[in-house]
Homo-oligomer: A and B are copies of this chain.
Amino acid sequence: MSLLVVGSIAFDSIETPNGVAENILGGSASHFSMAASFFTQPRLVGVVGQDFPDEHRALFASRGIDTAGLTEAKGETFRWKGRYHADMNSRDTLEVHLNVFGTFDPVLPERFRDSSHVFLANGSPTLQARVLAQVRQPKAVFADTMDLWIDTQRDDLLALLPRLDGLMLNDSEARQLTGEANLVKAGHAVRRLGPKFVVLKKGEHGAMLFGEEGVFVAPAYPSSQVLDPTGAGDAFAGGVLGHLSESSAVPTTSGLRRAMAYGTVIGGLIVEGFGLDRLKRTDRSEIDRRLEEYRNMLTF
């Protein structure tokens, strides 16, 4: 099995009620691949600018992340600046500079084209489709999306959905896509648009899985120290796809449930530090220990 992720690499500047960080490594592909690296050696495809320091490449290498698809373009790396509200669940974007990510048109290295598992991180559905066309015979394709694409590229998104094994999106996006206010109805309605599985993310309230065999509910891991929620959704996805690619070829309901539990644990870990700090300080044994704690928290 081999896991490909295509997404953004960014410098994040973040203010939360519990602290501040400037220009730290972020972006969907960074969070995803760091999370997935506890299960597999993810293949990362992304673009950075000439300002991208060797220390970040070294971090990826130290986690076994294959950066053959990490290209450097003329210009600066994508930058994002945001401020979280007191509830740690909502935030304001203060600055976005797409820089080299604005013209990102990924070309997969030849040896990435046989990837069995693919995660198309949030991006335009046309770009996601162009990436997918470069993978020969994927066994499991998952994608993320956002309100912008539902609003501006709905037709392209609808064309992509039947080609997906799984769509990950948040609660408000599911409502926007389907027009259903009730989340359970919305989750089922998204599935009728094509993807075999729908993973509905609810931020600090966890996630739900909708599939042929019904609903799985994964409440968030109750973290007692949330420093920075940035990247929790992508780290969750990295845990899900990482474990899936480690454990099963074609995704099954039971495999995906277990993978979501791992994703939940990693999503609960990453928020305990700024950026990737906390994931740098964990290992598979802590993750497995938390998985058993999580299972115990749900047992009656």
Contact = CB atoms under 8 A, between A and B. Distances in A.
Interface stretch (A42-50, A106-114, A176-184): A176-184
A175 to B, nearest CB: 10
Contact of A219 (B206, B224, B225, B299): B206
Interface string A200-226: 001001101000001111110011111
B257 A300 contact: yes
Contact of A216 (B181, B208, B254, B297): B297
A222 B258 contact: no
A298 interface: yes
B222 A219 contact: no
A258 B298 CA distance: 11
Contact of A299 (B185, B202, B208, B257): B257
A297 B214 contact: yes
A100 B59 CA distance: 68
Contacts of A217: 219, 222, 297-298
Contacts of A226: 182
A205 B208 contact: no
A260 interface: yes
A17 interface: yes
Interface in A162-185: 181-185
A295 interface: yes
A131 interface: no
Contacts of A185: 224
A219 B219 contact: yes
Contacts of A88: 181
A86 interface: yes
Given A182-B225, A261-B300, A298-B298, 14 more contacts: A86-B181, A88-B181, A182-B223, A188-B224, A205-B205, A206-B219, A214-B297, A216-B297, A216-B298, A217-B222, A217-B297, A217-B298, A219-B219, A260-B300
A182 B298 contact: no
A292 to B, nearest CB: 12
A205 B202 CA distance: 10
Contact of A224 (B182, B254, B297, B299): B182
12 contacts: A182-B223, A182-B224, A182-B225, A188-B224, A202-B205, A214-B297, A216-B298, A217-B222, A219-B219, A260-B300, A261-B300, A295-B300
